[in-house]
């Protein structure tokens, strides 16, 4: 039997939604392992690394809900990351934000595994493929949303874990799957559609099992 697929989420509600879309036979046979690893890039990286240190896996998927950029990813939509980007990894300057690449200290961009992304895109033909930003502090103002959209014209969504999971994957095939619960911008919990986003995550996970299970 091949090594299982590891799917990590931030919180238990997302893990439950992912499991709800799974074929129970895959879970029972340990072909797929789903685990919440914590909120934010540091917790996600540490939790994923711990899991990878204790068992063998064939690939890693970061899954969960996210905010969508207006006009790029609608609430209720499904997004696949072409690249996971640590959008706040860098430095401020009088001229604006400097990404870590401009400082000469590494990279803030990690691409999804091409084969895994192709398989997921084929299984989810309605999914939007684009960059997904990883932020330790999620956006809560129109000004920040505009600045991020201008700095990252290929970004379709923002979340808090993808880049951390990608770093921990350390060479294993990696992908990021998100469903959109709210538009990025002024923080308005009343406009969030968490139930719908979690239901969409379950639907997307069913396709994930068919393509990668």
* Model pLDDT for residues 166-189, shown as the tens digit of each residue: 999 998 999 999 999 999 988 777
- Looking at the DSSP bridge assignments, the partners of residue 132 are 84, 157
Residue 104 tokens read as: 């000469």
Indicate the fold that domain 5-212 takes in CATH.
Answer: Rossmann fold (3.40.50)
- pLDDT for the residue 164: 97
CA distance 96 to 100: 13
Give the pairing type, strands 59-68 and 32-36.
Answer: unpaired
Mean pLDDT computed over every residue of the chain: 92
Give this prediction's pTM. Answer: 0.93
Residue 159 · residue 67 · CB < 8 Å: yes
- Looking at the DSSP bridge assignments, the partners of residue 151 are none
* Model pLDDT for residues 36-66, shown as the tens digit of each residue: 999 999 999 999 999 999 999 999 999 999 9
H and E: helices and strands count for the chain? 8, 10
CA distance 156 to 73: 6
CA distance 21 to 140: 31
């Amino acid at each position: 039997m091949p090594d299982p697929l590891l799917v990590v989420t931030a919180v238990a509600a997302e893990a439950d939604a992912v499991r709800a879309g799974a074929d129970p036979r895959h879970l029972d046979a340990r072909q797929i392992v789903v685990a919440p690893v914590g909120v934010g890039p540091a917790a996600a990286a540490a939790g994923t690394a711990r899991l990878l240190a204790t068992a063998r896996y064939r690939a890693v998927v970061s899954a969960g809900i996210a905010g969508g950029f207006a006009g790029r990813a609608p609430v209720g939509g499904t997004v696949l990351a072409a690249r996971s980007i640590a959008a706040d990894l860098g430095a401020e300057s009088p001229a604006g934000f400097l990404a870590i690449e401009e400082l000469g200290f590494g990279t803030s961009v990690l691409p999804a595994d091409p084969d895994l992304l192709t398989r997921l895109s084929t299984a989810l033909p309605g999914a939007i493929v684009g960059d997904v930003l990883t932020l330790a502090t999620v956006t809560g103002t129109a000004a920040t949303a505009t600045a991020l959209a201008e700095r990252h014209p290929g970004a379709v969504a923002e979340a808090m874990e993808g880049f951390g999971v990608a770093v921990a994957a350390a060479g294993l095939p990696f992908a990021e799957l998100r469903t959109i619960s709210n538009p990025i911008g002024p923080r308005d919990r009343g406009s969030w559609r968490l139930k719908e986003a979690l239901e969409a995550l379950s639907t997307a996970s069913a396709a994930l099992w068919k393509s990668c299970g």
